[in-house]
Structure 1
């Protein structure tokens, strides 16, 4: 027959064991408040960072997204939409970590509840708080990265091509972007450079979307 295991009492606790148990109980009792304080500090720090980012985004640059060439206009719109989603979720998670969930406190079974059960409930809430803080920080950083990307694309993305002008003269056809006009001479920027056209010799001046024979942008 297989011998049955016998449970025997362990060695008596030493003062060091009692000190370690006391410190462990103190750590468990205060870990939730420490996690909430850390979440509050992160929330304030990220709020200050975003205030600086929004100020950075207000620096003078292209202000009309509709002036961007495709597909940069769609990329900026998508980046701003994702920025809004990430920022909203990140803010909610940071608020959850800093102030807790908007629910009542659930006491463990058994009245009165033991101190161990109460500490265990606080420990589980601390884990949820840390998880919400970690995810909130990650989403907030993603929101900032998307905001900077959208601003950079708005500043440095290529603009839409303006309307072209087609000028018919006895010597031929000139088509390109209209430039300045001086003393009856119109400067037209073509693919090969600027061409001066005397308006007095022009037979027709027409605005066109694309020059004849030019590949669409």
Structure 2
């Protein structure tokens, strides 16, 4: 059984355990990954850190909308975990131009090809610390718990029996973005990812990587898992459209 990506490795001297994840060069998922930082982790940490210094509420930066009363989120630990995962990405995934220029065509200019020569959405084998993945999973748990405790819809009932429904900021506003970010990072290695990682490594020194029939079958199975994770919270039709690009 191939074991190229498993189990998580621990370096000599007790260094942090690491694992390899296959991440797509796909603007749709990268958008969620970056918005987890931009909309949630970075502003939450800024609001938390300045208050730790004793700055008053009147001049401290605002909490991200709906997160004023969120508990269970370790502001510095989760931001640092995201930053380390971001640093582990290859340069092409750290370039935000990808979010805006290639959103509709993730396979454009790809050097990864199927057996028939068709360009495929690129995948990248990225080594990340298992502790960082756990930290981001804890972010997901905190947001889910906050969404249950502080729903985004508030019902006001009147004496005449009528009721008004109001939408208010809530941790639930961030749930889909965080769920999709963590779901893709949580796709554990299996035989298919082992096959693909070897193919990507072998093609790293060439201008084009052509998958064999066996490797392409692994790619398609992985794409099924990826689509389910990267479209968490989407409709079945939206998921099918995402998967069709692979």
After TM superposition, the score normalised by the length of structure 1 is: 0.25
Q: Which has the higher helix share?
A: 1
Q: Which has the higher strand share?
A: 1
Q: Which has the higher contact order (CA 8 A, sep 6+)?
A: 2
Q: Which structure: larger Rg?
A: 1
After TM superposition, the score normalised by the length of structure 2 is: 0.23
